[in-house]
Amino acid sequence: QVQLVESGGGLVQAGGSLTLSCAASGRLFNIRAMAWYRQAPGKQRDWVAHITREGTTNYLDSVKDRFTISRDNPWNTVYLRMDSLKPDDTAVYYCAALDYGAPDYNYWGQGTQVTVSS
């Protein structure tokens, strides 16, 4: 019922910036929140940031002063602006959506690779 497609990943030097986009389609009226997760090679998938239907945001502590999650109302596109990138930000970044009544994020995009060099 919800389809998510990420874009905007790429290769960037440490200290640089990159903005990811997540295009959402389908039955968006039942979405409670959307989030960005990331997964580095050999690591578990970690939560990075989310935005609720009411517009409140939260961030992983290590990215809180560098990343910004935002959206086009209500859910057509969700963004993750990443500034002051570090090599340990390198990961596949995934967009996710949470339905009202679902116990965990239940829709996922295919992922987009972010590689930070130096």
The pLDDT, as a whole number, for residue 73 is 78
**Residue 86: burial class (beta carbons within 10 Å; 0-12, 13-18, 19+):** middle
pLDDT, tens digit (0-9, with 9 covering 90-100), for 94-116: 999 999 999 999 999 999 999 99
> pLDDT by residue (tens digit) across 61-107?
999 999 999 999 778 899 999 999 999 999 999 999 999 999 999 99
CA dihedral 10, 17, 80, 54 (to 10 degrees): -170
Rounded CA-CA distance 11/116 in Å is: 6
Mean pLDDT in residue range 7-16: 98
Residue type, 98: L
Contacts of 64 (CB under 8 A, 6+ apart): none
